Structure 1
Amino acid sequence: MRLENIVWDALDPRRLGSFWAEALDAEPLTDQPDLFEARLQLADDVFLDLCFPRVPEKSSSPPRLHPDLVGGPRQQAVADKLLGLGAVRADVGQGDVPWVVLADPEGNAFCVMDDRASYTGTGPIAALPLDSADPERDAEFWAAITGWVPCPGSGDMPALRHPSGVGPLLELCPEPEPKQGKNGLHLDVRRDVGEVDVTDRLVGMGASLLGGDGLPWLVLADPSGNEFCVLDA
């Protein structure tokens, strides 16, 4: 399996997807009333797809996943560009920190980061912090289902990265509170050719099967309850 998608629940897929595609210089792939998709090419054979399916209402649960964008010496210029595209400044209780907190046009908070050596070569997304009840355990889980490998992070939390050394870090962060409700952002993995039935293996690793009957993907949750989908090969 490999990590393929970052998925934002969207009330207006075109508006939200167009914001993120322009913010990250991603190439639009799908522009339909109920789905917008764009591809963030990180290297010749490494990419992440950004997916924005329409939902009837946004989750009111505290966010557990968000993108941290590369800022560094250009932090203010990056923030100004995003504000010009429709982002707004946000207060999530961050206090006095060296990063800039913004929210996209549908209120999803994200950060423009300060300069950190661990973000070298990540592309426009520096990191994907994911809340976890047990970061060490969940780092092993996500490494097993993505093929990503441990790497130096930007703090004390475990971090993973594509084995090529390009693209964002997946950081497993101690959760401030147990998960409540559905995540508004989630990750999708795609199984490889020949991987037919992965459900038993994933459940044996601590995942929970949430659904997928009649769909071309499985819906599961990681050991901390964070939803993810397993797409067909």
Structure 2
Amino acid sequence: MALRLVQVNCKARDEKALGRFWAEALGWDVTGERPGATPVQPPGFVWPDPATVSLDVIAVPDPETVNDRVHLDLATTSADHQAALVARLKELGATAADVGQGDVPWTVLADPEGNVFCVLEPRPIYQDTGPIAAVVVNCAAPRAMARFWHEAMNWTLHEVSDDHARLRSATGAGPYLEFLRTADVNLGNRLHLDLAPYPQDDQAAEVARLRALGATDLDIGQGDASWKCLADPEGNAFCVLAPS
């Protein structure tokens, strides 16, 4: 049994505007808008795509204003590509962000609602990921987080240390999931992961399995929804969707 990482869920005050920003930023499309939700997916995307993690921008009345535990790293193929992408993102409404990064080769930006993300310098490891190189989670214990998420999704462990852990789908496609040791993890959860069981699997059984691995139930006011809200061992929210 295992789950698929199908999308990153992003809270927003204006989900349509933020969805348009991310569609332009990634070269993707806004597809099938639902009331209060703006899906952002690659051209030709078919749900659930085994090689792509999409983005779902969800309207909430009062999203957190603090820095988030989860952020996106964007891939580039050359120094010129990095510079051009940063310039284009600023034209779209992104702004420079200072998170104490100092003099680093990557560029830290914030989207129009203040969500921080990074535009990486060219790195060979990310050359086949698509526009999203990695979904990065700040945490206190990367080794423990890697164990939990490896068991949850059966993703391959590519690197594990006290400071950093990196996983990727066993298919070798799509972005990496990375855990970065951070001194202050008392951050918000404007972005979270949405997982889905495989069609032949049972949502309730998967949720029970995650609880046995250390997940806990989470009430975010979802009510009687088709998805189940949980928190991983460090309190990061995530959702288990119904099979599709």
- The answer for unaligned runs of 5 or more in structure 2 is none
Does residue 199 in structure 1 map to residue 207 in structure 2? yes
Partners of 2:24 and 2:185 in 1: how far apart?
34
CA contact (8 A) 2:10 2:190 kept: yes
Deviations 1:162-183 (A, max 9, x none): 1222211111111322435x40
Q: RMSD value over aligned CA atoms? A: 2.2
CA contact (8 A) 1:151 1:160 kept: yes
Partners of 1:3 and 1:199 in 2: how far apart?
14
CA contact (8 A) 2:229 2:238 kept: yes
Using the size of structure 1 for normalisation, the TM-score is 0.91
Amino acid paired to 2:54: D
What is aligned with 1:115?
122
Does residue 49 in structure 1 map to residue 67 in structure 2? no
166, 183, 189: which one pairs with 1:183? 189
Q: Report the secondary structure of 1:36's partner residue.
A: strand
Q: Report the secondary structure of 2:53's partner residue.
A: strand
Does residue 231 in structure 1 map to residue 238 in structure 2? no
Structure 1 pair 178/111, CA: closer, same or farther in 2 (3 Å)?
closer
Using the size of structure 2 for normalisation, the TM-score is 0.87
17, 20, 23: which one pairs with 1:18? 20
CA apart distance, 1:27: 2.5
Q: Report the secondary structure of 2:56's partner residue.
A: strand
- Identity over aligned residues, as a percent? 40
What is aligned with 1:86?
93
- The answer for unaligned runs of 5 or more in structure 1 is none
- Correspondences of 1:52-91 after superposition (within 5 Å): 52-73=57-78, 74-91=81-98
Does residue 218 in structure 1 map to residue 244 in structure 2? no
- Correspondences of 1:81-160 after superposition (within 5 Å): 81-152=88-159, 157-160=164-167
What is aligned with 2:169?
162
CA apart distance, 1:117: 2.1
Structure 1 pair 199/10, CA: closer, same or farther in 2 (3 Å)?
same
